[in-house]
């Protein structure tokens, strides 16, 4: 599966698959959905759908997002980290 197909499929998961919106209780990125972050979206989770990868716990909005992540975790983690870090550096609008 090529990169565009994977990202298109990931976007469809969030549009059609629904996501959990409860407060996060555990996981990297403050419990936000890793695939959402990789796509530049802020998706809170309750971390009921999660996986451990290289000693860290990552949360997902649904099972489809988790399945996509596991196809290429290093790529999605890099994209998620870039977006998450850039979001932290944005100045407050208040």
41-52 confidence digits (pLDDT tens): 999 999 999 999
Token pair for 36: 């959402």
If you average pLDDT over residues 19-48, what whole number do you get? Answer: 83
Note whether 59 and 27 are within 8 A (CB): yes
For residue 94, being part of any structural domain is answered with: no
For residue 92, being part of any structural domain is answered with: no
* Alpha helical stretches, state H, the chain: 3-16, 34-38, 63-71, 73-89
Number of domains forming the structure of the chain:
1
Q: CA–CA separation, 10 vs 72, rounded Å? A: 12
Q: What is the pTM of this model?
A: 0.69
- The candidate with the shortest Cα–Cα distance to 44, out of 19, 69, 71, is 19
Percent pLDDT > 90 in the chain is: 64
* Alpha helical stretches, state H, 17-58: 34-38
For residue 72, being part of any structural domain is answered with: yes
Q: CA–CA separation, 7 vs 94, rounded Å? A: 33
- What are the Cα distances from residue 36, in Å, to 51, 88, 93, 94? 15, 16, 23, 25
pLDDT level of residue 7 (50, 70, 90 thresholds): low
For residue 65, being part of any structural domain is answered with: yes
What domain range includes position 75? 3-84
């Amino acid at each position: 599966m090529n990169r565009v197909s994977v990202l298109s499929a990931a976007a469809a998961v969030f549009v059609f698959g629904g996501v959990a919106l409860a407060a996060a209780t555990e996981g990297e990125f403050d419990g936000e959905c890793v695939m959402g972050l990789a796509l530049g979206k802020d998706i809170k989770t309750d971390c009921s759908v999660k996986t451990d990868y290289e000693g860290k716990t990552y949360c997902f909005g649904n099972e489809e997002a988790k399945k996509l992540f596991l196809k290429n975790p290093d790529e999605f983690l890099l994209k998620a980290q870039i977006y998450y870090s850039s979001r932290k550096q944005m100045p407050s609008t208040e």
